[in-house]
Amino acid sequence: MKVVLPDGSPLELPDGATGADAARAIGEGLARAALGVRVSQDGAEPDLRDLTAPLQDGDAIEIVTARSAEDGMGPLWLIRHDAAHVLATAVMELYAGVKISIGPPVEDGFYYDFEFPEGVKLTEDDFERVEARMLEHISADEPFERSELPAVEAIERFRAEGQDYKVELIEDLVRDDGVRTVSLYRNGPFTDLCRGPHGPSTGRIEAFKLTSVAGAYWRGDASRQMLTRVYGTAFLSKSDLEDHLRRLEQARARDHRKLGRELGLFMFSDLAPGMPLWLPAGTQIWNELTRLWRTTNVERGYVEVRTPILYDVDLWKRSGHWQVYRDKMYFTDVEGRAMGLKPMNCPAHCQIYRNELRSYRDLPLRLAEQGLVHRHEPSGTLHGLLRVLHITQDDAHVFCTEDQIEDEVMRCLDFGFFIYDQFGFKPRLELSTRPEKRVGSDEMWDKAEAALRRTLEENGLEYELNEGDGAFYGPKIDSHMTDAVGRSWQLGTVQLDYYMPEQFGLTYVGADNAEHRPVMIHRALMGAFERFIGILIEHYAGEFPLWLSPVQAIMLPIADRHVEYAREVAGRLRAAALRVEVDERSESVGKKIREAEVRKVPYMLVVGDQEQSDGTVAVRRHREGDLGAAPVEEFIERARDEIDRRAR
């Protein structure tokens, strides 16, 4: 038979030859380096397989080595999958009676989920022991051997071993996918139910490390058994592992919680979990964002409103929140009247819509509010500014006719792109469709989902589909960004809603002089100021662009006799609306500079005898160093320009 190599050249092999045979036929070195083989049949997407898998005539193949591209299923995927099995091998040997569940490779590493016997637990203190045992198996270079077994026999076998999770997995495979045989992989003493593929042997795991232990629900279902998940990572070389660990450490240095404390941006109180207290410097950033929010909303035809945070429960019953969102709301009693803190601004904006008779000429009506909402999230999910209990949204509701939907949705998306562009953000888009817990008819959902999809596709926007994750009243297009350590967070959202206008009896008078029902687009672009600032802090690692910096310039007089000149210059800068401080302490210039650098103040203006007599400042830029002297006016002009352009 013949297979085709990546360069297009054919390779003649005996029938039944495997990937390993192909590698050997090409060269002894490649055979030694081979970890797996990518096989593509009839031009289809290549499939990663074991080296021992037989090839077929006409296959296009590529031998995977440590140097192959990763793109999702490559050498790292293989050895991390291998490492997960080795981890299970070690844990089974060290802890009698442990039950195994699943252990896949993931972004940055792998994990394996275990159920330990009553009273036994594994903590990070045990890692050394487990890693030592893993290393024994890796040093022994045990081959991964694949075998196939009828599903019934596999069930029997795992049941006899007390491996209930494996039994459940196979039973589901049989029931849901009609599977009749399953594959097993053995390495040394350990055999696991596994689809594969795997590398040739355990010895190919060049560098690995266990990283953390955490709880995880069996099959991600919160109503089921909590298992113990051990996370680890593996690399193709020791230096790759070291680089990875170093990157993680650097990422932790830009954690917004750490920077928030160091830079005095915000704080938390044990007496108000999940609700940040904004310090003066953080408030400054908040206010700059508010300014951006307000001016851009006005430019795009929005009008700003303000609404109560506390509303009669009747409103929440009308909007549907009481029915499907109650668990996340806070309620209180006011003179015997049940009131709820708002988790969203939409019902209040519907009230404002209803306040007047609306004409089709008024539409689209775009109401914007910096709305403070409270949502009771499970306590374990709080995370600095990125997950809070009180959320300040850059919220807006666009009331429009059905004909205007696509145009208005696109305007919202465009507006979002403009905002993200101010910071150089390139968010990922996600289309979320009808959830199980929802309100409104299927017909409404069909229309709404189709409209969003059409808007995305007609405008050539890339998006991922997230089925079943829409808001309870309508589908949505979300934008997502990742934090310093790669966790993904939703920022903006554009949601299409046919339901609330109906519930609140919203109407407009059309050109035909008849009453019509408007539709409503809910949208937030930054999402929440809290989360957005958290992401900003990590994005900039605390080194904000000038326009956002809490302190934009600091005057550093060299000796006490220069303080007065420093104050005078500071006054001129303030007159140009620059945020400036004067470091009047009797410290050395070196120390003042160091502290200003640590505080990440963008401009340090050193003034001594020279500057005082010339009417200049010696400009030092954060991280860049000394830029030389400049007349005060010239510096002001430069800084003003940088701010007004919102330079990044």
Partner RNA sequence: GCCGGAGUAGCUCAGUUGGCAGAGCGGCGGUUUUGUAAACCGCAGGCCGUCGGUUCGAGUCCGACCUCCGGCUCCA
Point out the residues that are catalytic: 346, 375, 393, 395, 397, 476, 522
Q: Is 274 in the site for RNA (CB under 7 A)?
A: yes
User: Which of the stretches 28-36, 291-299, 439-447, 587-595 binds RNA when contact is defined by CB under 7 A?
Assistant: 587-595
Distance in angstroms (rounded) separating the CA atoms of residues 317 and 115: 43
Site string for RNA, 418-437 (x = CB under 7 A): -----------------x--
Task: Give the helix/strand (H/E) hosting 318.
Answer: helix 313-319
User: Which of the stretches 27-35, 136-144, 152-160, 599-607 binds RNA when contact is defined by CB under 7 A?
Assistant: 599-607
CB atoms inside a 10 Å sphere around CB 317? 14
Q: Is residue 6 classed exposed, middle or buried when 0-12, 13-18 and 19+ CB atoms within 10 A define those classes? A: exposed
Q: Is 487 in the site for RNA (CB under 7 A)?
A: yes
CB 591, min distance to RNA, A: 4
Distance in angstroms (rounded) separating the CA atoms of residues 98 and 91: 8
Q: Which of 251, 382, 541, 576 binds RNA (CB under 7 A)?
A: 382
Nearest Cα to 455, choosing from 406, 391, 521, 421?
406
Site string for RNA, 614-633 (x = CB under 7 A): ----x-x--x-xx--x----
Q: Which of 47, 304, 377, 581 binds RNA (CB under 7 A)?
A: 377
Helix axes 529-540, 280-299, angle to 10 degrees: 110
Q: Are 151 and 182 in contact (CB under 8 A)?
A: yes
CB 134, min distance to RNA, A: 19
Dig out the tokens for 252 from the structure.
Answer: 């932790």
Q: Are 81 and 41 in contact (CB under 8 A)?
A: no
Q: Which of 139, 610, 647, 648 binds RNA (CB under 7 A)?
A: 610
Dihedral sign from CA coordinates of 371, 372, 374, 377: positive
User: Which of the stretches 53-61, 193-201, 226-234, 638-646 binds RNA when contact is defined by CB under 7 A?
Assistant: 226-234
What is the footprint of RNA within residues 189-208 (CB under 7 A)?
A: none
Distance in angstroms (rounded) separating the CA atoms of residues 582 and 573: 11
User: Which of the stretches 138-146, 285-293, 386-394, 420-428 binds RNA when contact is defined by CB under 7 A?
Assistant: 386-394
Dig out the tokens for 355 from the structure.
Answer: 């306040």
User: Which of the stretches 4-12, 215-223, 355-363, 497-505 binds RNA when contact is defined by CB under 7 A?
Assistant: 215-223
Helices and strands in the chain, H and E counts = 20, 33
Q: Is 597 in the site for RNA (CB under 7 A)?
A: yes
How many residues are present in the chain? Answer: 648
Q: Is 598 in the site for RNA (CB under 7 A)?
A: yes
Nearest Cα to 535, choosing from 260, 307, 157, 182?
260
What is the footprint of RNA within residues 527-556 (CB under 7 A)?
A: 527-528, 530-531
Nearest Cα to 365, choosing from 492, 521, 525?
521
Dig out the tokens for 238 from the structure.
Answer: 């020791």
Which lies closer to RNA via its Cβ, residue 201 or residue 612? 612
What is the footprint of RNA within residues 242-271 (CB under 7 A)?
A: 255, 257, 261, 268, 270
CB 361, min distance to RNA, A: 32
Q: Is 489 in the site for RNA (CB under 7 A)?
A: yes
Question: For tokens 């790292």, what's the residue?
Answer: 76
CB 417, min distance to RNA, A: 16
Q: Is 513 in the site for RNA (CB under 7 A)?
A: no
Dig out the tokens for 595 from the structure.
Answer: 């502290």
Nearest Cα to 484, choosing from 624, 386, 615, 565?
386
Task: Give the helix/strand (H/E) hosting 497.
Answer: strand 488-497
Which lies closer to RNA via its Cβ, residue 191 or residue 393? 393
Binding-residue total with RNA (CB under 7 A) = 80
Q: For residue 94, how many C-alpha atoms fall within 13 Å in the half-sphere facing its CB?
A: 21
Which lies closer to RNA via its Cβ, residue 67 or residue 623? 623
Q: Which of 146, 157, 317, 383 binds RNA (CB under 7 A)?
A: 383
Annotate 539-548 with b (16+ C-beta within 10 A) or e (fewer).
Answer: bbbbbbbbbb
Q: Is 294 in the site for RNA (CB under 7 A)?
A: no
Which lies closer to RNA via its Cβ, residue 137 or residue 592? 592
Q: Which of 357, 559, 577, 647 binds RNA (CB under 7 A)?
A: 559
CB 175, min distance to RNA, A: 22
Q: Which of 134, 184, 289, 386 binds RNA (CB under 7 A)?
A: 386
Alpha-carbon radius of gyration of the chain:
31
Question: For tokens 């099959």, what's the residue?
Answer: 219
Site string for RNA, 12-31 (x = CB under 7 A): --------------------
Q: Is 384 in the site for RNA (CB under 7 A)?
A: yes
Q: Is 217 in the site for RNA (CB under 7 A)?
A: yes
CB atoms inside a 10 Å sphere around CB 175? 9
Which lies closer to RNA via its Cβ, residue 221 or residue 356? 221
- Give the bridge partners for 39, in sequence order: 47, 61
Task: Give the helix/strand (H/E) hosting 98.
Answer: none
User: Which of the stretches 70-78, 300-308, 330-338, 491-499 binds RNA when contact is defined by CB under 7 A?
Assistant: 491-499
Q: Is residue 183 classed exposed, middle or buried when 0-12, 13-18 and 19+ CB atoms within 10 A define those classes? A: middle
Distance in angstroms (rounded) separating the CA atoms of residues 28 and 17: 16
Q: Which of 471, 554, 601, 636 binds RNA (CB under 7 A)?
A: 471
Q: Is residue 348 classed exposed, middle or buried when 0-12, 13-18 and 19+ CB atoms within 10 A define those classes? A: buried
What is the footprint of RNA within residues 62-121 (CB under 7 A)?
A: 121
Q: Which of 39, 611, 636, 643 binds RNA (CB under 7 A)?
A: 611
Q: Is 213 in the site for RNA (CB under 7 A)?
A: yes
CB 450, min distance to RNA, A: 21
Q: Is 567 in the site for RNA (CB under 7 A)?
A: no
Q: Is 485 in the site for RNA (CB under 7 A)?
A: yes
CB 384, min distance to RNA, A: 5
Question: For tokens 């499970």, what's the residue?
Answer: 378
CB 92, min distance to RNA, A: 19
